[in-house]
Structures are given as C-alpha cells and as structure tokens.
Structure 1
Amino acid sequence: MFFLLWGVLVWLGATGVFKLAGHFFFSPENPTLMILSYLLVIPLILVLTLPLYKWKQLNDHEKLKAAIFIALPGMLLDVIVLLNFQEIFTNLSPDADQYFASWLLWAYSLMIMTGFLKAKTK
C-alpha cells in the first residue's frame, strides 16, 4: 500500500508541476528544454525510488514489485489526463500532447527499470 500511495503522490506532484510550468518543458519551439526534460527525469526517478527501496530494505524481487506499484497509479491516471489534455493543461500547446505522452512513457519505463537494479553486495 505504501508504494501505491507514493505513486499517487509522485503523480500529483508531477501533474501539478506540468499544470503550472509545463510550457517550459514541452515546447516544440524549444527542443533544448525538451531534451533537458527527458534527461533530467533520470536522476529524479532515481531519487524518488532508490532511497525508498533501501529504507524499506527490499530484496530484488520486492524492488520490482515496488517499482510497478509506484508507476501503476500514475499510468492509470494519466490515461484520463491524456484524453483530456487540452482541458487540463491549458498552458500547453495542443501540439505538445505527443511530447508529453512520450515523456510519460519514458518516465514510467525508467521508474519500472529501477526495480531491476541489483543491490550492491558487501
């Protein structure tokens, strides 16, 4: 339950950021910022997941399950968001929906991949 709740909180935070400032991240006229948004999500995902796995002392199997539970709420909720993109993200160009959707797939893929990272052995 903890990881599902964490996933909802991560989704709420990210959706809020993009609702308020998404035009900085997903502007087809500014490819540099779009590329940065794809790159900067990598360390962000690592910070949002790996310390939790360590704190909860998860084994490799539990990490994969936790990663799926973190990603799942956002993936389900973003189905609704993407279907209502123009109404929700009024600050974004309607043309930005494809970039936003691809960024979401990228971010959720990274999130799930953290569950495959092996723990360091001592």
Structure 2
Amino acid sequence: MRFFLCWGFGIWLIASAVFRLMGQYFFIFEKPFLMIGAYILAIPLIWLVTVPIYSLKKKSGSKQLQAAICIALPGMLIDAVVLLFFDTIFTNLPADLDRYFASWLLWAYSLILLTGFIKTSFRTNH
C-alpha cells in the first residue's frame, strides 16, 4: 500500500500546484459555470489517475478499496492544514473562495474513495 500512499501524495502535489498557479481560472464566483466545470472535470480526471492504476497493480475487491483510501489519505491530511492557511498559500484566489475550494476538495476525495468500489478487471498469467 506504500505505492498508493506515494501515488496519492503525488496527485495532491500536482493538483495543489495547478490550483496555486491557475486556480483563478477555475474558481470565479461571478462565473458559476466555470466552478461547476471544475466539479465535472474532476470526475474523469480522478477516474484516470486511479482506476487504471488499480488494474496495473492488480488490485480488486477489498485491496482496491484499501488502495483508494491510501490514495486519498495523504491529500486529506495535508489539506486539513493547508486550508487553515488558504489565503497565504493560494494568493491567486480571493480568501472568500476558501469554502468553495474546500467543497471541491471534499468532492474530489469522495470521488477517489468511490473508485475503490468500481469493479476493475485485469489479466493474470497462469
């Protein structure tokens, strides 16, 4: 499961960098369609960074769910602290958007956890 913890940290790091550098293009209170788009875009992106990895690493059933938890856990723990310093870390976003950003994070982490329940298939060589 160490691989999935590292994978989750990598996903968190890349996503945090994207929002730190370009978050102002996703979270614009005056343009709700862009904000809704960020929620919708998360669905295929989360699927792409999780489900194929389960198959690649030959995880299914309860092991896949454990992997999903390990992917989500690093970001959830780190973001619990990061959100306390939202206006200092995400200087490109107005401080009053912190609740929308937190909402998006909950959505994304929920999607990651849900991928643990998706039935995946992989081939084994017997």
Q: Is the 8 A contact 1:68 1:112 kept in 2?
A: yes
- For residue 2 of structure 1, what is the aligned residue in structure 2? 3
- For residue 52 of structure 1, what is the aligned residue in structure 2? 53
Identity %: 56
- For residue 64 of structure 1, what is the aligned residue in structure 2? 65
Residue 119 of structure 2: SS of its match in structure 1? coil
- For residue 12 of structure 1, what is the aligned residue in structure 2? 13
- For residue 92 of structure 2, what is the aligned residue in structure 1? 91
Residue 59 of structure 2: SS of its match in structure 1? coil
**For this pair of structures, how many residues does the alignment match?**
122
**CA distance in structure 1 between the partners assigned to 2:31 and 2:66 by the alignment:** 37
Q: RMSD of the TM alignment (CA)?
A: 1.3
**CA distance in structure 1 between the partners assigned to 2:43 and 2:27 by the alignment:** 17
Q: Deviations over 1:64-112 (max 9, x none)?
A: 0000000000000001110000000000011110100000000000000
- For residue 36 of structure 2, what is the aligned residue in structure 1? 35
**CA distance in structure 2 between the partners assigned to 1:82 and 1:103 by the alignment:** 12
Q: Is the 8 A contact 1:27 1:93 kept in 2?
A: no
- For residue 115 of structure 1, what is the aligned residue in structure 2? 116
**CA distance in structure 2 between the partners assigned to 1:46 and 1:119 by the alignment:** 12
Q: What is the letter of the counterpart of residue 87 of structure 1?
A: T
Residue 30 of structure 2: SS of its match in structure 1? coil
TM-score if structure 1 supplies the norm length?
Answer: 0.96
**CA distance in structure 2 between the partners assigned to 1:54 and 1:48 by the alignment:** 11
Q: What is the letter of the counterpart of residue 59 of structure 2?
A: L
Change over 3 Å in CA distance of 1:2–1:120 after alignment to 2? closer
- For residue 24 of structure 1, what is the aligned residue in structure 2? 25
Q: What is the letter of the counterpart of residue 20 of structure 2?
A: K
Q: What is the letter of the counterpart of residue 12 of structure 1?
A: L
TM-score if structure 2 supplies the norm length?
Answer: 0.93
- Where in structure 2 are there 5+ consecutive unaligned residues? none
Q: Is the 8 A contact 2:72 2:113 kept in 1?
A: yes
